[in-house]
A and B are shown apart, each in its own frame.
Chain A
């Protein structure tokens, strides 16, 4: 091939697509270096454009219109959908539920994941098997998790109440109080996500040089002290990452509370555990099939997540950095 190119010469090469000239090959090579990286990442951006950016923009458009699934588009209404949502106390109830559920599920989850990770970081038998084992809850179908936990926390014939009663406590009507339903749902969420976060922490912990621990223990630092003064500050970027990811996931909580109430979208008879995502679904796909209103709530949720993730980011960065000082 190379000889061919040399013989045919630069002048003819242009018209001959089979054997390109050196100059052409040079140009192609430059193009390759310059643009092929973009080509390689293009699939992600194409998919994102179709499944991420387009829905985002279209939802914004819909949120400014009166539009129902059964009645179709009924014209531009400005910010009416937003004002209706913001003045509806139902919306504030579900906001409260979402934040409450986020806090009581995520805070223990991340602390527990840290503990699990530091435990997995030690030398032990069957280490890889155990490390992979903590991920099993995460690869279980969330629907199956929801159904099983729904049965465990069933009011009358459930395992949780049986345990409570066998130690002499009263049975709890799990779906009838805010605190009990939140606890049960937090169990589901944590069961699924603790192992995942623990593995991420573990990966970060393995990058910490052993010498730091050795010199600290020579100086007489206890295990607890080493954990808080060395491990936690050094994996700070990873903790930030998990906090952001958990914030996004927690704000969009949907399947667990839905299945906990046997698929009823209202989340308890007084909406005790209806999340924003469930409220969006209820507004858009049941009742009045109000797509415009649902889109407005979706956008509000998007903005809330943005702000809240930022606040969490700043808070965690400051408090974890505080540990090193």
Chain B
């Protein structure tokens, strides 16, 4: 008997070992979707990864209603900085990426250069859609040789200036949005009004961060930023970058900025605490403000025109990774989300201005008001601004150069850890090293 049980034991141990090995093997086995391209008739589930506040909830519901055979699994991936590394790993590993992924403009540009992981939307039938989109948005998503279309544009970012009318009132400034717009035709005027505001010694500052003027100022005044159009680094010689940097730090040295790092917890809380009076806001930013400032601030924010004229800040794209097994269904989803109805749904939900021309012309957008922003005619403000948009060439690693090299150095200078000159030197040195690395 004893030998039997011992034998059983060793067999069991062997079985356990083999079982473990098999178990590990099974982990790496891929889950395969039945009905692999949506045309087989059976229901198909595709996934959609987004970051930030694009307002896809209602649009996806409408899409599912119109396409009963396609179910959409929506994945909120947090902020761009969380999503960028995740997506890079998934694309490199060849599995794990969603069927549809949202790409911020800077991410798209990087993937235009290394475009292998993405499907060519022209092959999926995108070529007939050209007239639907704002021309610069459509052209931006092509590879250098013009043969591959990587993404379709969801939204564009014409600029405006959001302001807190309750703080303006306390400071004795006009609160009516037309009168506010007239306060600051230029950035110099904007700085002067900031000094008036500061002289009233309210608890709030004029602007959240010196870095907030960079995007608007550069987008308004240049068609390049860190790269020239042949992808050569020009951050050190592009005069507009230096001017924008000086403008921001000049405001910081005058005590007009809150010195907050954008997208930090303190920055989030500052919206609730009415810690600053103005902030440049493209349409997608209205959702950002609403989410952070909360119901208590409803009606206290308003929207005026931005100093210095038109410019584009941000705006995203939707693309399909080559690894997707449901490209047809995924393309249907992209077409819908970037099309008229998807654009209108997103605009109503979170405020981003669609890049679909037919959506822009629709009275639901052109005539829209935003009750959170004191019923501001956001449709008119942003659609007008969208007409003046000039495209800007950002280049392959723009997002990393800005977020990981330039912005931290500028913040260090704003916080007084470095002099303005030392901050500039560091911003240039780090971004240049990154561009060439």
Which residues of A approach B to under 8 Å, CB–CB? 1-2, 25, 28-29, 31-32, 36, 39-40, 42-43, 46-47, 50, 69-72, 150-151, 154-157, 173, 175-176, 261-266, 268-271, 281-282, 285-290
Contacts and interface: CB of A to CB of B under 8 A. Distances in A.
B91 A262 contact: no
B404 A282 contact: yes
28 contacts: A28-B3, A31-B10, A36-B9, A42-B17, A43-B17, A43-B20, A46-B21, A69-B89, A70-B117, A72-B92, A151-B265, A154-B266, A156-B266, A157-B273, A175-B261, A262-B263, A262-B264, A263-B81, A264-B81, A265-B404, A269-B261, A269-B409, A285-B88, A286-B84, A286-B400, A288-B434, A289-B92, A290-B437
B92 A69 contact: yes
Interface of B: 1, 3-4, 6-7, 9-10, 13-14, 16-17, 20-21, 24, 79, 81-82, 84-85, 88-89, 91-92, 110-111, 113-114, 117, 261, 263-266, 269-270, 273, 275, 397, 400, 404, 408-409, 411-412, 415, 417-418, 426, 434, 437
Q: Which of A43, A46, A266, A287 neighbours the largest number of chain B CB atoms within 10 Å of its CB?
A: A287
B193 to A, nearest CB: 24
Given A286-B84, A289-B88, A176 B415 contact: yes
Contacts of B84: 285-286
B273 A269 contact: no
Nearest to A177: B417
A31 B91 CA distance: 48
A144 B192 CA distance: 44
Given A29-B6, A46-B20, A154-B266, A287 B397 contact: yes
B215 to A, nearest CB: 18
Contact of A287 (B20, B400, B426): B400
Contact of B265 (A47, A72, A262): A262
A270 B417 contact: yes
Given A29-B3, A46-B21, A154-B266, A266 B10 contact: no
A43 B15 CA distance: 11
A315 B263 CA distance: 44
B434 A1 contact: no
Contacts of B409: 269-270
A176 B414 CA distance: 11
B437 A287 contact: yes
A313 to B, nearest CB: 33
Contact of A32 (B6, B261, B397, B412): B6
Nearest to A39: B13
Nearest to A150: B265
A28 B3 CA distance: 9
A70 B264 CA distance: 28
Given A32-B6, A269-B411, A70 B114 contact: yes
Nearest to B272: A157
